[in-house]
Amino acid sequence: MMIEALIAVALIGALVTFVAPNRVAGKLAFAISLVPAAISLWLFATFDGSGNALLEGTLAFESQYEWIQLGEYSISWFVGLDGISLPLVVLTTVLTSLAIMSSWTPIDERESQFYGLVLFIEANLIGVFVALDFFLWFIFWEAVLIPMYLLIGVWGGPRRKYAAIKFFVYTNVASLLMFGAFIALVFGLGDAVTSFALPEVADAMVNGEGIQQTLFGLEPTTLASLVFVAMFIGFAVKVPVVPFHTWLPDAHVEAPTPASVLLAGVLLKMGTYALLRFNFTMFPEQVETYAIPIAAIAVISVIYGAMLALAQTDLKRIVAYSSVSSMGYVILGLIAYTQFGVGGATFQMVSHGLISGLMFMAVGVIYNATHTRLVTDMSGMADRMPVAVGILIAGAFGYMGLPLMSGFAAEYFIFFGAFGADFDYAPIFTGLAMFGIVLVAGYLLFALQRAVFGPYSLETDYEVSRAPLHDLAPMFVLLGLIIALGVAPDLIFDMITDAVDPILEGGDS
Amino acid sequence: MAIYELPEWTALGPALILAVTALALFAFDSISPRSTNRQLLAGTAVAGSLTSLGVAVWFTVAGVGTPTADGGNGVIDPTHGFVVDQLALYFMIIVAVVTALIVVASYDYLVDHAYQAEYYSLVILAATGMSLMAAADSLVTILIALELASLPSYALVAILKDNRGSVEAGLKYFLIGSLSSAIFIYGISLVYGATGHLELAAIAEVVSGETEAGSGHDITEMGGLLGLGILMLIGGFAFKTASVPFHFWAPEAYEGAPAPISAFLSSASKAAGFVVLFRVFTEAFPLGEIGAVIGFDWTVAFIVLAIVTMTLGNFAAATQDSVKRMLAYSSIGHAGYALIGLAGLTADGGELVMGAAMMHLLVYGFMNTGAFLFVALAEHWGVGRTFEDYNGLAAQAPVACAAMAVFMFSLAGIPPFGGFFSKYFLFVGALEAATASTAMLVVAAVLVINSALSLYYYSRLVKAIWIEDPPATRDRLAQPTGLYAAIIVAAVMTIVILPGFGPVVDAALDAAGAVVG
Amino acid sequence: MIGVEYYVLLSMAVFCIGLVGVLTRRNALTFLMSVELMLNAANINLIAFAFYHGNLTGQVFALFTMALAAAEVAVGLGIILVLYRNFRDVDVTVPTTMRW
Amino acid sequence: MEGAFSYAPAIAAFPLVAFVVALVFGKWMPKKGAIAGIAATGASLVFSLWMLAAVASGETYHETLYEWTAGEAASEIGADTIGFSFGILIDPLAALMLVIVSLVAFLVHVFSLGYMNAEGETGLPRYYAGLGLFTFSMLSFVYADNLLMAFMFFELVGLCSFLLIGFWFRTRSAPSAAKKAFLVTRFGDYFFLLGVVAIAATFGTLQFAGDESFVAAAEAAIDDGGQLFGFDAETWVTITGLLVLGGVIGKSAQFPLHTWLPDAMEGPTTVSALIHAATMVAAGVYLVARMFGYYALSPTTLAIIAFIGGFTALFAATMGVVKDDVKQVLAYSTISQYGYMMLGLGVGGYVAGVFHLMNHAFFKALLFLGAGAVIVLMHHEQNMWKMGGLKDKAPVTYYTFLAGALALAGIIPFSGFWSKDEILYDALIVGLEEPLIMAAYAMGLLAVFFTGFYTFRMVFLTFHGEPRSEAAEDPHPVGWSIKLPLIVLGILAVVAGIANLAPVAKLANVDITFLEHWLDGEYGGIDEVTYSAYSELLAYETGVISSEQVTVLIAAGLSLLLAFSGAGLAWKLYSDPEPTAHKERLGSAGTVVEDNYYQDEYQVWLAEGVTLPLARVADRFDQTVIDGTVNGVSTASLFGSSWVKRIQTGIVTNYAALLIAGFIALLLGLGVYGGWF
């Protein structure tokens, strides 16, 4: 029941906040958001699951109720947690609370609506990570679009309307493609499955016969490959993976800081999480078949994304493109299909969530004071806002994968896992992708040098002063978490690997 | 349930109640045509439609029409030419719901209209016709019910006598309508000519060769004649459901008519059209047998129609300036979605896809009606008709605008709203049908493209009311009780129908099962 | 006796005449009449086939059709009336305030 | 002494605490965190000496303290599980380095009191926090017991250098220098990390010492001659070794990744002292020494190391000749000196390399601090041509500096001579067999001349002759906190050579090579990481000219001769009261050298002339092609929309026509399909 409580609190909180008066909305929303955070931490503490949720693992906090009988297929409310989803749930709740606090300063109109939407998005994000029935999962997956569309559209930057609609339509098209593919998969499995419950489908794919039917005049194997590719593309848009990434920078740049935090911190993880849950859990054979092209895509995402970041002058754009780059590492880790690879990829999801969140907050805090994000417009900000800049620098080094910060752990796991991967030329691909760590240092340090160092200069008609404490507090929390995970990755890596192993064993069988 | 005691004719209760209400209103109208006792008139109409709704729900629950095997009372034949089964009741519910909603809304919308009684009586009369369409199972009754629905509609569309738009809309609706009905009737005559019968069941027997036509000739010789007849029937129904190429009246009629009437036509009238379509083609021209007679299964026709209708509706909607016209085109697009329900049928089965279409029509009854009623509200406010005129309404009327956002996202098929399930189940159904005939893959693909496009223009409206800034010059907006009530009810239903979708699915699948397989 | 097919041909001819009228005439009243022609074409069919099949259904139905046509005309005339009131004309191609 | 090692973690912990304290409370502390730093590094020094004593008493320490994470390894050979952990390895080498690092760090902290505090710098807490973190990282790196842990702190060292070089962030140059330092070393570390991953994936372990060390595993792999990642074992060891070497070249500023180091002079001189003498730059060479066993397995790698070292030694020395900024001269001398160490290690002169590392730490710290003192004296003037005549005005500074200079120049009997001579000797005896090494030796030998020259050019210009600016007329006085470290280091620079008087030992045949014995674990050590163990692995042939003694004499004689001639030339050119520049005599060569052989130019060009434009092209491509496609789709559909809706002409007759047309089209289509006509 705890999971239901988690979602319910967020939903009700959203409604309450939505009707609350504007001036109290921020504080109220923060107070409310602490409840899910607390619950999720409690779940984390008392987690007793083992194995993979989709592959006969023992779920924690599981609950299932019949919902709809659609012909011979049953749809149910089916939620549960395993070592992969729990860290992401905690990430979501914690990040939401921090994002809410970080938006006290920048959000100065229609507050109650804003915070209501943030809580609403939190509810759906949690749902995405806990849902184990395809339709239930898909509801949450799609429902995320609405609040994000409005968050970007209402409180965003100058080109917010374009960015919002682009994000909305682009990702939705991808969802439709993926949906069709999955349904085809279910039909392809024929009588092997009688419901849309993901564990059942995964079981039929991995331990069962796999796709047996000949659909649309396609041989089972062809069908499986097509479904795999279609779903991969569908999720690739959400991740995003080059060349499906162009909605991301627009959305990031135009979105208000807290929205960016959630977007980069959690929404992108939906894509990689789905990839892991669907493609990489249900299609072990195809994963091996398509290892080379996917690895190539991963490398391209890393390098190309980094190159794009290098060409930007807008701090947010830089971070946005670097997200593309970082997500490339995740893909690399997933395709490696080794314990450290897939586990590292999952770890990177959490790590990148924290670090990119921190970066966006720091950039946001500076933006609050300067009202510009162009590194060319400002210089020597360290002189006026030492603490904020200090955190920005810390975050930047986290992004570069500085040891003893979570980013390094994640990247190292992925590299190590990918280097020893089974597919051909794995070391080469790893080596190429690793060059990203040089490029990332390049563009981040270049931006820092221009924006925060050097003699102070910024055209403002007011005095730029230090950031208020409630802007800094969330960043300190994040920094603490980043370092904690960097020093002690086993805080979550144990449970992750525990949930990852069954996937890989499925690959062998 | 005391239903056993009731005589059989009461099975038509939902329709009859509407008829009685209509007559009552007529009586009132003839007594005092200029009466403006809105409470009484609207009250009567609402009471009538709600009773009809209640009875229809009651019958459904009581198991009228459910096969006796499942502990129901079996299909009831109240009188010659009518049948009451789950399909009929299901659509009677839809009609009653929509009627109730728009009547409530009209209470405010028609506040300064001269002929109140006339309006309400026409509405209820049309509702009666639609309700009867749901139960008609002979081409005669179908034609009568259909015209009973159409004729008042013509008048209703043109009821704003001094509004050029309304009149123009009425004219176009009427002209296209009469043309279509002429074609329809000619089609009936050809079918009759080919089979010698007008009852669907009898036609089916002839088509399947169980009994031979009255004249004793072999049906297959008449294949061409029958085929032409069938095509003409399709034409008649296409007009009712605003499907290409008989859709041309729809954009103008919906745009020019009073918004509640637009809602009425685009939701209830469309649904009624579809129920007849479903019934006639599944019962009179059984798939498989019909192929032997006219050379092809009529699903082909519907595949084509579905694709064209979806595409034309959505594409034309994408760049409209007038909100009402956008909704009109989107309603054409949704007709295309619903057509998939027939296109996906196969000789053995297809409950899923047809059921999905029915679910969609039910949900559509709420979300589309709601959307049009919001337009009615806007017209009531007098803010204007274009997207720009709607800018920033949320700042002044957040509740109504929240409801509108719900309708839009639901129409676009975004959760957590009812439209999500119906649309995606339709998608699932289409794919399942595609496993049988690959042509349905094309339909599914087109569905994807169109729903993506629809996302664009629906969110465009949300953008206008929620994201854009309101113009400086716009005075306070009133909060008419009736309109608000109707809109909020529609919105709430659109939302709660998602968690409560289980019964809807069961009802729809049973309804489909009543005619398919 | 004359084969049913000739009746069908006749009705089709009438139907097409009506159709052409609908397509070419701009006067609302002519339009209405053309539609009436098409309806009567249907009636011809119905009666002929009733005779052919030797059952009365068709003839009865023809009666319905006529009644229906009458009702239609009634409503139609009403609309044409208000059309004239608003547009000072009964040309059906005049009202084009709504398009595209 | 057994219990000593349980306190080993404290050595690193103290500076870490100091870092936190300085960062958080520094603002409110009397000396802005200096006290905390001095206390911490002092404590570290004491503990390090304790460790030294413990090792001397025959103990060593190799303990895994904390498992970072563990899991399945996809290793080519060895176990299928791997643990990544933090552990401490204290053997003679580590103990020695601990002492060096903590000592230098301590002295730098003390010196900072005079150099930074007294000069009223702002942001001192940041400065001392940086120093603390720097010391912590370096000490942790020094006694890391596995390659990953080493890499981690190697990187942290890089971070600290970034923070400290960029200390004066309000200037334009400092941040740029800091960025460059981090980027260039990051580039090296990229290869290092790749090497770490490769080694871990190959051998399933990253331990330096012990039975399951990757060195042992590699040795085994080579012995049973299997295939690793499609290469035969030795090639693979070479490849991975070279990858790791990338990090070394970056950090130890070897050619071609040396360009960051001269710019790093933008940082406070104290930081330069720390970076060059004991921490960052030393880290590279120390890493080679640390995993010397692994390199010993692959002669190719060693040869490459040796050659790079020799070349860098000469290459950097030539550039040092023409610099006017006292710190610049020292910077290039650093590069050059680390070249020697690489040369020494490359030719298998493990002891020699480490010996020079130690001596260099002392005299280079001394020289930099001395330069710092000079800069204080000169009111922050760094151009040597503005100086002069400081000899009498600041005797302490002068004599200590002179001691350092003599050591650097390698003048007998100062410490530098002994270690450098030993390196050259080792290079020579190997070179007699291996021509490539001989070339490296030749370059190293030639560099001695330049070293002597630029060292004394610096000394003469700075201290001798007449004051050439009013700043030089009345120097700013320097306090005890500056003098004390100078004196300590000065003494060390003079006597440190005693640690390993190899030539004397060979000639007089007395057993006084203490350092060799020390590193050989004779007092206490871990078997497979001792000098002798390495020597067995080495595949080098060594030769002698006639006899060992003669060879020793020749080697020493040659290097001394060159050193003296260099110094002499400097004396001839610059010792007059009003020295004049002689650069133009060098002609075009001079300008080339002035511009550091255009090393910076081409690297900057690579960054800004190639990468950046490439990035812009990518961006353009992204905006136009990829995003253009996306937007194109929407534009196309909207255009289609505006076209489709035109069908609705508004004229009802057209509707009727279209309706009929549509119907007939359907009729014909289906009619044909259904075969009606």
Nearest to A416 among D197, D619, D627 (CB): D197
The reply to whether omega before B7 is within 30° of 0 (cis) is: no
pLDDT of residue A506: 64
Residue A484 touches partner D, C-beta closer than 8 Å: no
pLDDT of residue B2: 46
D610-635 tens-digit pLDDT: 888 898 999 999 989 989 998 999 89
Is the pLDDT score of D384 beyond 90? no
Nearest to B312 among D638, D644, D650 (CB): D644
Beta bridge partners of B349: B346
Structure tokens, D17: 């605490």
Chain D CB contacts of A448 below 8 Å: 175, 179
**Nearest Cα to Cα of residue D151 among B328, A411, C26, A156:** A411
With an 8 Å Cβ cutoff, are D646 and C100 in contact? yes
With an 8 Å Cβ cutoff, are D169 and A453 in contact? yes
Which chain D residues in 592-651 lie under 8 Å from chain C, judged by CB atoms?
645-646, 648-651
Residue C14 touches partner B, C-beta closer than 8 Å: no
Structure tokens, D519: 């590193």
Chain D CB contacts of A497 below 8 Å: 71
Chain B CB contacts of A177 below 8 Å: 448
How far apart are the CA of D650 and the nearest CA of chain C, in angstroms? 4
With an 8 Å Cβ cutoff, are D674 and B294 in contact? yes
For residue D530, count other CB atoms closer than 10 A to its CB: 21
Nearest to B245 among D641, D645, D662 (CB): D662
Is the pLDDT score of A509 beyond 50? no
Nearest to C99 among D649, D653, D656 (CB): D649
The answer to whether B132 touches B102, Cβ cutoff 8 Å, is: no
pLDDT of residue A430: 93
How far apart are the CA of D657 and the nearest CA of chain B, in angstroms? 10
> What is the separation, in whole angstroms, between the first and last Cα of chain B?
29
> Which residue in chain C is spatially nearest to B174 when comparing CA positions?
C76
Is the pLDDT score of D60 beyond 90? no
Helix (H, G, I), strand (E, B) or coil at B351: helix
Q: Does pTM surpass 0.80?
A: yes
Show me where the domains of chain C are located: 4-87
Q: Which chains touch B (3 or more CB pairs under 8 A)?
A: A, C, D
Task: Count how many pairs of residues, chain B against chain D, have C-beta atoms within 8 Å.
Answer: 91
Chain D CB contacts of C76 below 8 Å: none
Q: What is the mean pLDDT of residues A264-270?
A: 92
DSSP state of B346: B
How far apart are the CA of A131 and the nearest CA of chain B, in angstroms? 15
Chain C CB contacts of D645 below 8 Å: 100
With an 8 Å Cβ cutoff, are D615 and A308 in contact? yes
D633-664 tens-digit pLDDT: 989 999 999 999 899 998 999 999 999 999 99
Contact D/A (≥3 CB pairs under 8 Å): yes
> Which residue in chain B is spatially nearest to A171 when comparing CA positions?
B452
CA gap B352, A69 in Å, rounded? 11
Low-confidence ranges of chain B (pLDDT < 50): 1-2
pLDDT of residue A134: 94
Which chain B residues in 141-170 lie under 8 Å from chain A, judged by CB atoms?
none
Contact A/C (≥3 CB pairs under 8 Å): no
Nearest to A216 among B409, B438, B467 (CB): B438
Q: Are strands A73-81 and D227-228 parallel, antiparallel or unpaired?
A: unpaired
CA gap A380, A370 in Å, rounded? 12
Residue C38 touches partner B, C-beta closer than 8 Å: yes
How far apart are the CA of B5 and the nearest CA of chain C, in angstroms? 33
A344-371 tens-digit pLDDT: 999 999 999 999 999 999 999 988 888 8
> Which residue in chain B is spatially nearest to C31 when comparing CA positions?
B175
Q: What is the mean pLDDT of residues A259-288?
A: 92
Tell me which amino acid residue B276 is.
V
Is the pLDDT score of D74 beyond 70? no
Chain C CB contacts of D641 below 8 Å: none
Residue written as tokens 């057209």? D654
Nearest to D670 among B179, B246, B300 (CB): B300
With an 8 Å Cβ cutoff, are D657 and C98 in contact? no
With an 8 Å Cβ cutoff, are C23 and D649 in contact? no
**Nearest Cα to Cα of residue C5 among C48, C47, C41:** C48
> Which residue in chain C is spatially nearest to B195 when comparing CA positions?
C53
Q: Rounded to 5 degrees, what angle do the CA atoms D583, D584, D588 make?
A: 105
Show me where the domains of chain A are located: 290-509
pLDDT of residue C42: 94
ipTM confidence score? 0.91
Residue written as tokens 């929240």? B402
Nearest to C96 among D650, D656, D657 (CB): D650
In this structure, of A417-426, B272-281, D597-606, the range with the lowest mean pLDDT score is D597-606
Q: What is the mean pLDDT of residues D2-26?
A: 87
Which chain C residues in 35-94 lie under 8 Å from chain D, judged by CB atoms?
92-93
Task: Dihedral sign for Cα A54, A58, A63, A65, please.
Answer: positive
D78-120 tens-digit pLDDT: 667 888 999 998 888 899 999 999 999 999 988 888 887 767 7
pLDDT of residue A508: 45
Percent of residues, chain A, with pLDDT higher than 90: 66
Query: Is CATH 2.60.40.10 correct for C4-87?
Result: no
Cα Rg of chain B (Å, integer): 22
**Nearest Cα to Cα of residue B18 among B177, B173, B152:** B152
Q: What is the mean pLDDT of residues D464-468?
A: 80
pLDDT of residue B61: 86
Q: What is the mean pLDDT of residues D337-345?
A: 91
CA gap B232, B239 in Å, rounded? 11
Element containing residue B48 per DSSP (H, E): helix B38-62
Local confidence band at A507 (pLDDT 50, 70, 90 cut-offs): very low
**Nearest Cα to Cα of residue B293 among B228, B197, B371:** B228
With an 8 Å Cβ cutoff, are D650 and C26 in contact? no
With an 8 Å Cβ cutoff, are D663 and B316 in contact? no
Q: What percent of chain A is helix, strand and coil (3-state, nearest 5)?
A: 70, 5, 20
Q: What is the mean pLDDT of residues D389-417?
A: 86
**Nearest Cα to Cα of residue B53 among B151, B156, B124:** B124
> Which residue in chain B is spatially nearest to D659 when comparing CA positions?
B245
Residue C91 touches partner B, C-beta closer than 8 Å: no
With an 8 Å Cβ cutoff, are B427 and A216 in contact? no
Chain D CB contacts of C95 below 8 Å: 652
Residue B80 touches partner C, C-beta closer than 8 Å: no
Cα Rg of chain C (Å, integer): 17
How far apart are the CA of D658 and the nearest CA of chain B, in angstroms? 8
With an 8 Å Cβ cutoff, are B420 and A67 in contact? no
CA gap B127, B132 in Å, rounded? 8
Show me where the domains of chain B are located: 300-517
In this structure, of A228-237, B214-223, B465-474, D205-214, the range with the lowest mean pLDDT score is B214-223
| Most confident option among A366-375, C13-22, D294-303, D368-377 | C13-22
pLDDT of residue A123: 95
With an 8 Å Cβ cutoff, are B319 and D641 in contact? yes
CA gap D128, D15 in Å, rounded? 10
CA gap C65, D609 in Å, rounded? 86
With an 8 Å Cβ cutoff, are C61 and B198 in contact? yes
Residue D170 touches partner A, C-beta closer than 8 Å: yes
How far apart are the CA of D22 and the nearest CA of chain A, in angstroms? 15
How far apart are the CA of D146 and the nearest CA of chain B, in angstroms? 53
Is the pLDDT score of D46 beyond 90? yes
> Which residue in chain C is spatially nearest to B320 when comparing CA positions?
C100
With an 8 Å Cβ cutoff, are A409 and D194 in contact? no
Listing DSSP states for D315-327 in one string gives HHHHHHTT--BHH
pLDDT of residue B322: 93
With an 8 Å Cβ cutoff, are D652 and C98 in contact? no
For residue B75, count other CB atoms closer than 10 A to its CB: 19
CA gap D677, D668 in Å, rounded? 9
> Which residue in chain B is spatially nearest to C88 when comparing CA positions?
B164
φ, ψ of residue B242 in degrees (nearest 5): 55, 50
| Most confident option among B258-267, C49-58, C90-99 | B258-267
With an 8 Å Cβ cutoff, are A311 and D166 in contact? no
DSSP state of A57: P
